[in-house]
Structure 1
Amino acid sequence: MLEIYGTVHSRTLRVLWMACELELDFVHHPLDWQRCGQDADYLALNPAGTIPALKDGDFVLAESLAINLYLAGREPRLWPQDEQRQALALQWSFWA
């Protein structure tokens, strides 16, 4: 099961929204951005101490855009198979 770390009052909201839109099963750990850098358990998961972070089994990923692109890649409706279309998806994601 996916685990999403971070408060809704941060860019974590993007990840939570994506997970809900994709109807994924996940657990939300509402970690406050002001305390995440001092939380030893969280720092063991994400040494940068930033939110959001996603845990998918043994795989851990930080940064909301990277997480959302990872989740999009799991959904054929959201991630094109053609390399040029993937490049365009990345272009617009980075621009936004």
Structure 2
Amino acid sequence: MLMNKFQTGTEPDLVLFFDCPEDEMVKRLLSRNQGRVDDNIETIKKRLKVFESLNLPVVEYYSSRGKAHKINATGTEDEIFEAVRKLFSSLRL
């Protein structure tokens, strides 16, 4: 879960938001080798709704301040890593 400035007393300079469609997240969670005991479609979708309700307002808050950066998280691990690397490289002073 993202922490906001009210919980920590400070505000981050950068927030990464890994954007991935719900169906892809469900697929990934159901296919992992050592998942949770309650990993089933219904429970996962409930957990994702809770995550969304708690975290999207925080992402929107930092987006409105130009601090949130969306990363497309539908690719492979290497593709996602490369997107993060490119973002960090572009932000260097």
Same fold (TM over 0.5): no
Quick one: higher RCO (CA 8 Å, sep 6+), 1 or 2? 2
Larger radius of gyration: 2
Q: Determine which structure has the larger helix proportion and give its number.
A: 2
TM-score (norm. length: structure 2) = 0.30
TM-score (norm. length: structure 1) = 0.29
